Amino acid sequence: MAHIERPRFSCMLGGVLATLSALPKTIPIIHGAQGCGGTLAGAANLGGYFGGGYCGDGVPSSNVAESEIIFGGSEKLKQEIANTFEIMQGDLFVVTTSCMTDIIGDDIKGVLSELGQTEKPLLFIDSGGFKGNSYYGYSKIMEELFLQYIPRSETKRKNVVNLFGLVPAYDPYFRGDLEEIRRILGLLGVEANTFFTNDQTQANVLGAGTASLNIVLSRLYGAEPAKVIKESHGIDYLITDLPIGNRATVDFIWKVADRLQLDKTLVTQVLQKETAHYYNYINRVTNLI
């Protein structure tokens, strides 16, 4: 029997769970069947070499079954949220739905309204898997973070940017690419919120509303959230490609420098030094050809 070893994408819920699991001290709560969490964790952890994320492989789930399909699963979700707050230590909790609970029409917003003000921030995203693929899930949860959680700031911090477009787990190199882009921008005096690298905290996430520019490193993924964030938070955006190689990186840096009005002399000096460093390694490789 044939099987898919490395799926290119999963359902919307898969993208939401991978993104939430990559955020610092963030705990998703799945309102769905047991198979949803287990299957999607396997796709992300094995297919994308993602590892377990902050919660490891123990993502909380309401584990709805036949009884909840007939009578509704709201009460079981309330119980699961209470149990999660008691057992799991996190800074942000997000209730996610599945195909099953979306189809039966559980009122998740009503459940959260009944719970009222909780000990830790508790968000909700309607993430029934049939609504799109994992990349769509990434886009929607990034939108919801800004709409529900990240405060709007009228004061923007000069030379602070947010990076979008690299989807956790479904791009197995997402953290390495984010770290290198942040390193190069840092040489120019630009501070980058990556959201998903190991040094990020909830303070970085909450401070994303003070950025002066959102940089989207993809023509497909992250563009829609950037447009929504411009309306909700007043942050302009730059859509470009992920820079691969020296020429693309130089072009990328000059685009950012132009938008942020960086000092051209500093940019030139940094690029000359980084280019020389890059081609020093390329020259060694050519000796083997």
The full set of domain ranges for the chain reads: 12-149, 157-286
Its CATH class, for the domain covering 12-149, is alpha beta
**Fold (CATH) for 157-286:** Rossmann fold (3.40.50)
Residue 9 has pLDDT above 70, yes or no: yes
Distances (CA, A) of 274 to 17, 151, 172, 257, 280: 36, 36, 25, 16, 10
Span 39-52, mean pLDDT? 65
What was the pLDDT predicted at 57?
60
Determine the Cα–Cα distance for residues 277 and 29; give it in Å rounded to an integer.
45
Span 158-183, mean pLDDT? 94
Summary mean pLDDT of the chain: 90
What was the pLDDT predicted at 44?
65
Cβ pair 40, 10 in contact under 8 A: yes
- Range scoring the smallest mean pLDDT among 7-11, 17-21, 28-32: 7-11
Span 127-149, mean pLDDT? 95
The three-point CA angle 179-180-186 to 5° equals 90
Task: Identify the DSSP state of 208.
Answer: G
Tokens of 22: 């990559």
Q: Do 12-149 and 157-286 come out as alike in CATH topology? A: yes
Place of tokens 């994303």: 208
pLDDT tier at 183, thresholds 50, 70, 90: very high
Highest mean pLDDT among 198-202, 253-257, 274-278, 285-289: 253-257
Question: Which is more confidently placed, 62 or 287?
Answer: 62
Distances (CA, A) of 12 to 126, 132, 138, 191: 10, 5, 8, 31
Percentage of residues of the chain with pLDDT beyond 90: 69
Span 191-208, mean pLDDT? 96
Span 157-167, mean pLDDT? 97
Question: Which is more confidently placed, 3 or 208?
Answer: 208
